Structure 1
């Protein structure tokens, strides 16, 4: 959507990040149409740098039914903001406040026997047993899985906890057809069968994140966890998702330089001709990757202009070219650093390419100095009852 006139006016004065929540809602609908299961909106890391509360509201408007986060702190923040939907937290140390999780109806992942012992001390928790399906990262190894399921069943029988889910994660979902995904699906199927054979009856089975939901129907179970896809990132490149961020900054200074002029730290770029340089007051402290120096582009005056010299902590230089006249870029004109690409501006995906990284790192690395404007925000979360375990929306 086009930002409001007020948003455009505000964006013209300082480096500004515009978050379009209608894009989030549309992305959830697009991804949700690819699966018959529920959609969990993963709003970890401040919803990939887009703002947790705004993205959470927009995700619900698109059909998401619950939330996923990494830490209990993130989950408690959602509760404090008034969200009563189910929340799963899956990356916690052994000494996390699992009693607070139980008190606020927050579900937690159990990746091994040590964590199972820790959550047993907070009676009433709803847990998702986590199986390592091929990443040697989080989750129980196959060698530990049988014991984990057996001990979890004993704890459940003793009334200490409820096993409501089994979860895993595919290692190469961004490459549909990769054999590691076949192995991951097979291990997950074995894990589910093992849990069932040992007496567990978890209602939630979830393996797929965004890329697998869009490209690998065999990985779909009762639910998919959608994180990067909420904000328009699809590593599988199989769907038309809409980026939700636009980053702009005004030209704070324009100067004429002669051919041969060296620019920035280390003099990594010399002007090949007489030209005009524009200065943007943002740099790597604001999240622009230094590796994109002398590679990236921005949109100024309807044309892409190259970033020249090294991106520094607070400043980025753009080659505006030789042209002068009434249409030439001047101080105060707005540069679009990245956006959805509708007007020809670069996208976060292009910046990721210039920086030899992935979009996730670009959008989550944007700094706190940027002015943020949220447009298209859904209606405010309705008044909700006082939160207790009995009033939290658990199905």
Structure 2
């Protein structure tokens, strides 16, 4: 192989690392090489196992995508506020994507009540991570004040299930999120099709997801022409389910016959509590849960909005690997993935045994 060919093929690999999967014709145009020459080089690199060819496109083998320029395994850190619920699936998606890319994922936990995101990130950085997936413990409205330090991170970072405030230093970070407002719209549209003209919302107010659910409710009732009802505040700490059930029962006496509850943990407690007020689910009160972590295990099984948690984790990890390879040449990505609605029996309606 001539020196010229070596340099050309090195540039091909470098470009594919930066761009991810790319068409051969686009690769040739980007490099300024004749397409026939690039196809020949790509064929040689594929024969050596350094590139994958699929339907006119090329990409790195999974194991190389997760390695640095020196061939060493990439180590990626992930900060989450909790495990044992919603973020388990997000972490699982990121972990699977890391394994597919030949990278290693290490986990840090900064509990909601501790507010020590920065110290946990510093511990991850002490492990010589090449990049970070971050779920900061941002309360609604606090993104600008509490994100200054994110602009000083020494490694690339991708926000997960978080969107930075537009004027904050973190606004320049990549982000992969669920579109929770669309998820609420799915739930209310389903209930509207079942004939409900007003839907109650019972929700927390202490997380970014809760903030998006509340905002999505206000938008959806206007879009669908439903009657907007006062939101039932779900207490941050446990033990408030009975009070929530009492407020839902009061709304039922005023005519409400459907409720969306954020999140599964709170929704699952409601059917037996509502029975003490003479309300059955779904015959007297249609109920949809938001999260779909445990909703299928309820009695009755709950119709639920299911954010694409695993896909969010996987997409964030894959974007982080691309960011590490490409650096600032890759435009900032703010990606939203749409939730789906899992229809079960808690809404009535007779659709396949469920709502």
User: Under TM normalisation by the shorter chain, which class is it?
Assistant: 0.3 to 0.5
TM-score, normalised on structure 1? 0.30
Which fold has the larger relative contact order, with Cα–Cα distance below 8 Å and residues 6 or more apart in sequence?
1
Normalised by the length of structure 2, the TM-score is 0.33
User: Where is the helix percentage greater, Structure 1 or Structure 2?
Assistant: 2
- Greater strand fraction, Structure 1 or Structure 2: 1
